[in-house]
Amino acid sequence: MLSPDSGPLDNMNDTIEILPQINSPADLRAMPMSVFPKLAGEIRGEIIRTVAENGGHLAPCLGVVELTLALHYVFDTPDDKIIWDVGHQAYAHKLITGRRERFHTLRQYEGISGFPKRDESPYDTFDTGHSSTSISASLGISLAKYLKGEKNRVVAVIGDGSMTGGMAFEALNQAGHLNRDLIVILNDNEMSISPNVGALSSFLSRKMTGRAVMRFKKEMEQFLKNFSGVGENLLNIIRKSEESLKGFLTPGMLFEALKFEYVGPIPGHQTESLVETLQNVRDYSDGPVLVHVLTTKGKGYAPAEENPGAYHGLGPFDIKTGAVKKPSSAAPPTYTEVFGDTITHLAEKDPRIVAITAAMTAGTGLTRFSRRFPERFFDVGIAEQHAVTFAAGLATEGLLPVVAIYSTFLQRAIDQIIHDVCLQNLPVVFAIDRGGVVGDDGPTHHGVFDLSFLRFIPNLTIMAPKDENELQHMLHTAIGHPGPVAVRYPRGSGVGVELSSELRKIPYGSAEILREGSDILILPVGNRVYPALDAVEGLKKMGVDAAVINPRYVKPLDSKLLTEWAAKTGRVLTVEDNCRKGGFGSAVLEMLARHDMLGKVRVKNLGYQDRFLPHGPQETLFKLGKVDQSAIVNAALAMLEE
């Protein structure tokens, strides 16, 4: 699988000599630039070894090693500021800003984060994880420095994928208007997670063959043909120098129109020329500048270069073969896979079904759908807000859009869900993946707010499956429902139940009683149902007889069944992989209050407290957040003792 010049593997066998001498960028600045190629190899080796062990974002980090060295060499960090967009490409930055010795703890519980964190290092200027924020933040920082009379430089580093997010353009627009100093580095590797999509990406592409250029060329040829002599000469020049025509048209024009000085495109893996360009920009620029840098995603590790999408973010892998270490072949399918298969299956039968992703085709399980129904599949780029309103438009014309977005990224589109979908009661299905804690990516990525931010929206139905089989039935129920529906499911493997071949509709707003009992009613939602059933087994041994109801619908709640069992047991314990405020437990409290039962029934809610959870394995976080099996047992016992 590896190509003969797989670079980093050679580097990895080299002795690590230079990196240990760098405890801060000041050490880097004291070195001759001639050591940079070897240093870049050492850094790549360190990144590959650590990600192979811990998992993480490999290809994005390998692509910016030289750029990182050049930035810290030229700019006076941490006084000058570097803001990494998304922040998933900042491992080299971490390695040379004093975190080399802790780097082996990357993404581990209580170890260093996979993203920039202000409380981890003064070199981390701005916390990130969601895309397209870097130019806005940098502009704010630059303006603040101006108002405080400080002269430091501010540099945003943003990928071509992240540049597709609307916020990036909102910021460019204001930056051009304010005309203050700001340096934007466009790290263009032609990739988002998968190949970048959209008109902007073809505009940036150095292999541009866009229709606009072709049309321009044709029209120019026609025009010049009218002038004998001079016209012919020019025509020949244009024909011969197609590259310069493209250079004339792309890609600087776009940024120049936004009043940025455009520099580039420049090669991104030659540190010395990067340094020279950045020094010029640092010393001579006046007003906003965009430096267009061309990099190779996965640079230096053959499997990642060959398949940058698969090596964008991954779990532990074998360095020699590049093969990802799978838990076991017998592991149940993930919720994501079941979603992808179910939606493809349903779309076979109903041509109105269309699927939408915001740059997460593989992540949301839509690869199969995209191949089977290319015309009914839309990757809109990193543009969650647009994805939702686009779906609303499709729905007004009688189509049945399924918008698959991770819970954390859907936070971006709350207004679009309210204003464009729910207000008009449009039949859009939101397939919300990664609901609940996601693990190693940490607080920027935990999907622990969705039940709260969706519950208050009129017309919206919310479901959460207890297992992968129920997910299938919920999707079948959601599609065709005459209004918006959100189906929220967690990251990772299902519980291993059999998948029914026949899909059935779950009666609207109905819960299911899983276990009858007289002492306490446990109401777990989604992925908390099985831990609750296990907890009940434990409680039984302690002489406690607990009832368990799977609500299935978070909204509307099955108030008849729930109040009946609340009254029978006199105690209600809710459990959710969501924040406590405004979540499922709050819904149960509100329902009991409406039925005037709060004086008669004791209620306790298990869910995340009012603070952000760190990164770490999901199971560790369930424990930390007190929503795991033992927390359920303890809470039930405490309620019985009261």
Site of interaction with ligand TPP (CB under 6 A): 60, 63, 86, 88-89, 130-131, 159-162, 187, 189, 191-193, 297, 312, 358-360, 382, 384, 409, 412
Calpha distance 112→498 (Å, rounded) = 39
> To the nearest whole angstrom, how small is the minimum distance from the Cβ of residue 444 to ligand TPP?
8
- As measured in angstroms, the least distance from the Cβ of 484 to ligand TPP is 21
- Minimum CB separation of residue 270 from ligand TPP in Å reads 18
| Rounded Cα distance, 40 and 33, in Å | 11
Q: Which of 470, 461, 540 is nearest to 512 (CA)?
A: 470
Of 592, 542, 596, nearest to 571 (Cα)?
592
Q: Output the CA–CA distances (angstroms, integers) from residue 528 to 188, 449, 510, in the order listed.
A: 42, 16, 18
Nearer CB in complex with ligand TPP: 483/492: 492
349 is catalytic: no
Give min distance, CB of 264 to ligand TPP, in A.
16
Closest distance of CB 191 from ligand TPP, Å = 4
Give least dist CB 290 to ligand TPP, A: 15
The secondary structure of residue 265, as a DSSP letter, is E
Q: Is 297 a catalytic residue?
A: yes
Residue whose C-alpha is closest to residue 513's, from 555, 477, 564:
564
Strand partners, 579: 608
Report how far Cα 285 is from the mean position of its chain's Cα atoms: 33
Q: Has 412 been annotated as catalytic?
A: yes
Contacts of 84 (CB under 8 A, 6+ apart): 90, 93, 116, 128, 134, 157
Residue nearest to ligand TPP (CB): 159
- What is the amino acid identity at position 268? G
Tokens representing 144 are: 């603040």
44, 153, 297, 580: the active-site residue: 297
Q: Which of residues 76 and 306 has its CB atom nearest to ligand TPP in the complex? A: 306
55: left (phi over 0), alpha (psi -120 to 50) or beta: left
Contact 333, 427 (CB under 8 A): no
Task: Report how far residue 466's alpha carbon sits from residue 477's, in angstroms, rounded to the nearest whole number.
Answer: 15
Q: Which residue number, 166 or 617, has a Cβ lying nearer to ligand TPP?
A: 166
User: Is it true that the peptide bond before 556 is cis, omega within 30 degrees of 0?
Assistant: yes
- Minimum Å gap between C-beta 418 and ligand TPP is 18
Question: By C-alpha distance, which of 465, 622, 607, 433 is closest to 550?
Answer: 465
Distance CA 77, CA 45 (A): 24
- Least spacing, CB of residue 598 vs ligand TPP, in Å: 39
Residue 248 makes CB contacts below 8 A (sequence gap 6+) with none
Of 544, 604, 614, the closest CA to residue 575 belongs to 604
d(CA 621, CA 613): 8
Phi-psi region of 457 (alpha: psi -120 to 50; beta: other; left: phi over 0): beta
Q: Which is nearer to ligand TPP, 434 or 555 (CB)?
A: 434
Number of neighbouring beta carbons within 10 Å of residue 233: 11
In the complex, the smallest distance separating the C-beta of residue 86 from ligand TPP, rounded to whole angstroms, is 5
Nearer to ligand TPP, 381 or 551 (CB): 381
Residue spans of beta strands (DSSP E) within 301-425: 353-357, 377-379, 400-406
Which of 66, 190, 384, 470 does the annotation list as catalytic?
A: 384
The Cβ-side half-sphere exposure at 412, using a 13 Å CA radius, reads 24
Helix, strand, coil fractions of the chain, as percent rounded to 5: 45, 15, 40
Tokens (6 digits) for 513: 């009683």
Tell the smallest beta-carbon distance from residue 438 to ligand TPP (Å). Answer: 12
Catalytic residue (one of 44, 153, 246, 412): 412
Among all residues, which ones are annotated catalytic? 297, 384, 412
